Each structure stands twice: as C-alpha cells, then as structure tokens.
Amino acid sequence: MTRPRGYASTKTASLPLPGTEGSPGQPSFIVLSRFREWYPTLAALLTWLACLPVAWAVGSFGSANPWVLRTAVIPLAVAVAGVVIVGFVARRWHSDLVAGIGAGLLAGWAAFTLRLALHGTPYGFDGLGGDAGRLAAMANQYSTTWHTSDGIVHSVPSAYPPLFPWLVGHTAALVHVPAWRLLGPAEAVTVSLVVIAGFAMWRLLVPAPLALALTLPVLLGFEVPSKSYEILALAVLTPWVIATFGQPPHGRRRLHWLPAGVIGGLSVTLYWQYLLFGLLGIVALVVLTWRDSPGRGRYARHVALTTAVALLVASWYLVPYVGWTLLHGSRQVADVGQAGVASSPLIFLAMTPLAVLELIGLGGLAWYRGRVWWGRPLALLTASAYAYWLIWLVIFSATWQTGILQDTPRLIAPLLASAGVLTIVQSAPVIVRKFDVKAVPAALPTTAVCLLVLWTAVSSWQAWMPGGPGEPGGPPGYQYSVSSTPNDASAAFSTPLPDDTYPQFEPASMRWPIFPVHAIEKDVESVDGQDAAPVTLSASESLFAFADWPGYIALNEGAADPGTNWPARFAVVQQLARTTDPSAFATASAHTRFGPIDVFILQVSPRQWVWPDLGPAPVAFSPAQFSSRAFTVFTNLTGGFVVAVRRPAQHQ
C-alpha cells in the first residue's frame, strides 16, 4: 500500500502477506490490494465479535465483587498481559494485521471491563440519576413507540438525539426485557464499538498502527460510560470530516458520498452537539477544499449529495422536531445556567500527560497547518470549537443561555491530542536526521503504540470501576476498588430497585432514598386498571424509567425538552397549588392548558404534599385539595410519598 505523504518511513520486522507480490498491472494484484486495504478493519471487527461472548461471561462470575480490589484488578492484569503479548507478536507479523487484531482486543477488553464494573447491578452507569434517568425513560418509551418522543412528556417529539435510546428500547421489546435493564450492556457495547468505529474511520486515512493510536485520545479524554453514544459520535467525527470534506493524503480516496452521508445522518441522531461545535470549521474546510480542487463541480456535487443523504437518514428525527417547533414553538431551557461556564478551555495548560500531548498538538497545528494533509482540517475544527465557546460566552452574558459551551473541551481535547500524535509521527524523521541519530530501534514505533494503548487502558479502568469510601467495620482486607471517590459506576449500585431493595454489593452508607415504583403502580392500577396510562405529575423522574406513563412536566427545567414549554407548564402547576377549593382544583387539574393531570405523586412534609421542583421553591399542595369524591389517595408509602389518583368518573 502506498504510504501517505508526510509520514515517516519506519523500519519494521513485519513481512508482506503471502500472495501480495505481483505486478501492479495484474488484476489479481488489484483485488489483493483492495483486500489489503480493508483486512485490518475486518480483523478488528472479527476479533471484537469473538471477544464479546467472553465479556458477557462476566455474568457467570457469581459472587465476584467489583468493589473489592482483588476483583477490580482483573481487567488491569488482562490489559498489561495483552499489550505485552501483542507487542511481541508485532515483531513477527504484519504490522497492519497486528494493529487490527489489537484494536479488536482493546474493544473486547473495554466491554469486559465495563461489564465487570456493573456486575451485581441491573442498572447502567449513573443508575437513574440526572441524564441517565432521562435516557432510561426515553428507552422505556421507545420500547412501545416507533416515532420519536420525549421520555417524560410523550406528546412532544424528542429534541434530544434519539438513536441510542431508540435502539435500546426496541431491543428490549424484542427480547422481552425491561429497557432500564439493557442500558448497562448497551453502554458496554457502545464504548467498545468506539474503538472499532474510530479505527475503521482513521484507517481510511492512515496506516493501521497510526489509526489505532489516533483512536485512543477520545477514550483518554472522555471516560464517562453513561455518555457512551456521545463518545461514539466524537470518535467518528474528526476522521469523517477529513475523509469526507478534506483532501485525503496521497494514495487515499475521499469517502464516497453515500456512506459519508449515512455516517453523517447517524451522527446527527446519535449526538449532534459536536457537529455544531465544529460547524464553522467544516464550512471553512469545504470552501477552501472547493477552491483548491481541480474538479470544483465534482466536489460540490459530492458535498451536496453527502448533505442530502445525511438529512434523509436523520429525517425521522429532524422532521417531527422541526415541524413541532414551527407549529407550536420551542423554548430552550436546557442550556440556562452557569455550570461549567467559567471553566477554562485552555485544557493543554493542565499538569497532566494528556495536556502535554495536547500542547504538542497545538504546536504542530501552528507549524504544519498548511504543509500536511491533516494540518488544515484539524486546525479549522479546533478553531471552530474555540470560536463557538467565545460566541456563546458573549451570548450567555446577555441571555443566561450557554449553548452547552462548557462541553467544547470534549471536542478540543481529542483534536489537539490527535494532532499531537500526528505531530510526533511527522517530526520524528526530521529530528532523527537533524541530530544525526545513527540507529533507531525498529521496535520503537511498536513500543510507542503499546504504551499509548496501556495508558488508555489504565486510565479508563481507573475511571470505570466503582469507587467509594468503604464500609465501616468491614472484614479485613475488604478494600474498595481503585478509588475512594464515588462515580457513575457507584451510582449504578446506589440506585434502589423498583421493589424497594438495592443491588448486590452496594455499601449501605451510599444508598439513595427509595422510590416505591411497584407499590405506586399497584395503587394506580387498582383505580384505573392494569392497562392504564395516566398523565402523571411525579416527584421523582425514576417513575418514567419503569412505568410507561406520560408525564405532565419534567422535574428539572435544565433537562426539559424545549418543545414541552416547561415554564408555562410550571406556571400551571403553581396555579393549581393555589387553587384551594377541592371542587375547583379537581376541575382545573382535569382541564389544564396542556391536558389533564390524572395522578399526583408527591412527597409528604408536615401539613403539605410537595412536588419538589429543583428550582428555588418547591410547589406545595394541601391534602384538603384532593377530595375523596374526585381522588383516591394512597398514603404510608415507603420513602415518604403520597399518591392521589383521579377517580374514573372524573376523567373527561
């Protein structure tokens, strides 16, 4: 295979594949060349698929406790041993083949580690807290619905990219398993797929060992498995932009508009925020590439067809959302706030090894931006992310809306780290010649990639395994795994189950309060019947992960779908709380501006029942508002909750 321009030639001990010798003019050589172009990706895919059953075998470990350090170190031992073995094999086998197998093994290791981290809990990472709970609600909704909709207010199309929860929900319906139980396995598969997808996309541009190295910065900088779909979208973005809209290195072809459009459309439905961060850079890259292209018409057609296919693939999500916005309006509330706004985007100034690599990348972008094929696109994407941050910082000062600018470092970090890897590869031969280095060990490139893989594995392992302060009075040697700081894996064990119990292995000191889902469902069904789907005002969003009931309003304004008009719905709830006459309250709650509220699930406090809005003031109802003529009230539920169910005769 022709090596791209600008890459150092490194001496390796690998041998050509049997049968690849021959004249370039022979048809057999062309076929074998095409095979050689794709076999590292195929090797990665097949290796990963072979590893997944091993990862799923974690479920047969029985009492293996991921909180105990001697269990938690199993993935670490596997990673070190695997890197050493693959490193030795790379000395004798073809480097592209070994890199492909290595990518598949790393992906399988990621699935194994994530499965072990959640062994003993049916939840995914972060349990039902925050975004994880809303993702579970969306997956639960999609287990019975094909069209996009909000996970809480079912009548509104989803503004949040739906592909990941949509796939989880329909898989749950297919295998007859509750959707919330599949989030953990889905996260493990998706994070492991990050390695395969990133490797396959970078493989379009660079040799396989370098493609593996360029896949790793995303995992190094974004170690949050509950955001697995975001990590996947991020891993694909940069090589997709370069291969689709940039000028690929010598000997490589631009990605065809059909697969490019499909990948772009899937990225929109997976998580479009990173595309938005890099949009200015993508537009600039298209304009500059068109200007420099000898076939401007052909390039313009390629861009137009790619965009059209992407919009078509994403239309099942975009059309309902845009249509609802045009007909009913939309009020963005999810980005109102100050969290993370003041944090510095100059991530390369941190005192960490990753920051050093990013700083090298920043220098490389400044030096190589117009000299090598990767300089311009990486520089434009990085500049676009910083421009987005600055633009929205100005907007925030005027409107309090952030545009999620605090997430721009998630794109900037892998861009600079990837540029750092490419800068080292680009400059190494120059440095060798300049300092007249007589002998460079042939194993040096392999050793460098192995160290980068090991760094990624250790860092990910530390972030993924559950952590906590330990249990006072525990047995000797019972040390909690890896870290004393609770994390997303800890939350998966802290979340109560719907039957008021807790997952296995969880320390009692870290348990979250119980929300009695099964008891609430039983009480509501006793009034409305087993197949009822009442519109519910709930003091906990956990309800919507288990019960396929439409909600009236999200609990937190900052996470509400823009199409639900959260401020107006909240004003309705406040007005209902001020309606003290029981008869008027029953009528008003049955005929609100946004439809009826059939079930109230509230927290009990002295002389009040409270819907705990997470803003400055909770909304307090009086028990007297819920007359026995209009509502059946259930009290004494675990966790201090009360349930008021509208009687069937009161449904209009």
Same domain, 452 and 560: no
Which tokens go with 274? 């990173």
Task: Give the predicted TM-score (pTM) of the model.
Answer: 0.90
CA–CA dist 514, 194 (Å, integer): 35
Q: Are 233 and 274 in contact (CB under 8 A)?
A: yes
Same domain, 454 and 385: no
Same domain, 346 and 214: no
Q: Which of 413, 434, 455 is the last residue of a domain?
A: 434
- Tell me, yes or no, whether 272 lies in a domain: no
Q: What is the DSSP letter of 415?
A: H
Same domain, 357 and 446: no
Q: Is the pLDDT of residue 552 over 90?
A: yes
CA–CA dist 123, 608 (Å, integer): 33
- CA dihedral angle for residue 281, residue 282, residue 288, residue 291, rounded to 10 degrees: -160
Same domain, 447 and 428: no
Q: Is the pLDDT of residue 406 over 50?
A: yes
CA-closest candidate to residue 411, choices 242, 262, 247, 233:
233
Each residue's pLDDT tens digit, 562-612: 888 888 999 999 999 999 999 999 999 999 999 999 999 999 988 899 998
Backbone angles phi, psi at 70, to 5 degrees: -70, -25
Same domain, 463 and 523: no
Give the pLDDT of residue 318. Answer: 95
Q: Which of 378, 407, 434 is the last residue of a domain?
A: 434
Same domain, 534 and 646: yes
Q: Is the pLDDT of residue 331 over 80?
A: no
Q: What is the pLDDT confidence band of residue 3, given thresholds at 50, 70 and 90?
A: very low
Q: Tell me how far CA of residue 357 lies from CA of 13, 346, 627, in angstroms.
A: 28, 13, 66
Give the pLDDT of residue 8. Answer: 38
Domain of residue 614, residue span: 517-650
Query: Could you tell me how far CA 431 lies from the centroid of its own chain?
Result: 39
Q: Is the pLDDT of residue 431 over 60?
A: yes
Q: Are 377 and 244 in contact (CB under 8 A)?
A: no
Q: What is the pLDDT confidence band of residue 28, given thresholds at 50, 70 and 90?
A: very low
The gap between the terminal CA atoms of the chain, to the nearest Å, is 72
Neighbours of 4 (CB within 10 A): 18
- Tell me, yes or no, whether 511 lies in a domain: no
Same domain, 87 and 222: yes
Q: What is the pLDDT confidence band of residue 39, given thresholds at 50, 70 and 90?
A: confident
Largest CA-CA distance found in the chain, in angstroms, rounded: 94
Q: Is the pLDDT of residue 208 over 60?
A: yes
Long-range contacts from 583-588, C-beta under 8 angstroms, 24+ separation: 583/627, 583/630, 585/625, 585/626, 585/627, 585/630, 586/627, 586/629, 586/630, 586/631, 586/646, 586/650
Q: Is the pLDDT of residue 19 over 50?
A: no
- Tell me, yes or no, whether 599 lies in a domain: yes
Which tokens go with 283? 């537009």
Q: Is the pLDDT of residue 5 over 50?
A: no
Q: Is the pLDDT of residue 54 over 80?
A: yes
CA–CA dist 467, 463 (Å, integer): 9
- Tell me, yes or no, whether 163 lies in a domain: no
- Tell me, yes or no, whether 305 lies in a domain: no
Same domain, 186 and 106: yes
Query: Could you tell me how far CA 317 lies from the centroid of its own chain?
Result: 18
Q: Which of 384, 418, 434 is the last residue of a domain?
A: 434
Backbone angles phi, psi at 401, to 5 degrees: -95, 135
Question: For residues 511 and 437, which has the higher predicted lDDT (pLDDT)?
Answer: 511
Backbone angles phi, psi at 611, to 5 degrees: -95, 110
Q: Is the pLDDT of residue 649 over 60?
A: yes
Neighbours of 557 (CB within 10 A): 18
Question: For residues 62 and 84, which has the higher predicted lDDT (pLDDT)?
Answer: 84
For the chain, the domain total comes to 3
Strands 536-538 and 641-646: unpaired
DSSP letters along 19-33, please?
Answer: T--S-TTSHHHHHHH
Q: Is the pLDDT of residue 32 over 90?
A: no
Same domain, 355 and 464: no
Mean pLDDT (whole number) for 373-392: 95
- Tell me, yes or no, whether 637 lies in a domain: yes
Q: Tell me how far CA of residue 589 lies from CA of 126, 258, 599, 600, 617, in angstroms.
A: 34, 51, 10, 10, 21
- Tell me, yes or no, whether 127 lies in a domain: no
Q: Tell me how far CA of residue 176 lies from CA of 58, 168, 172, 179, 182, in angstroms.
A: 21, 12, 6, 9, 11
Each residue's pLDDT tens digit, 252-298: 889 999 999 999 999 999 999 999 999 999 999 999 999 999 999 99
Mean pLDDT score of the chain: 87
Give the pLDDT of residue 197. Answer: 97
Element (H, E) at 74: helix 74-90
Same domain, 610 and 522: yes
- Tell me, yes or no, whether 629 lies in a domain: yes
Same domain, 449 and 365: no
Angle at 133 between CA 230 and CA 227, to 5 degrees: 15
Each residue's pLDDT tens digit, 339-355: 667 777 888 888 889 99
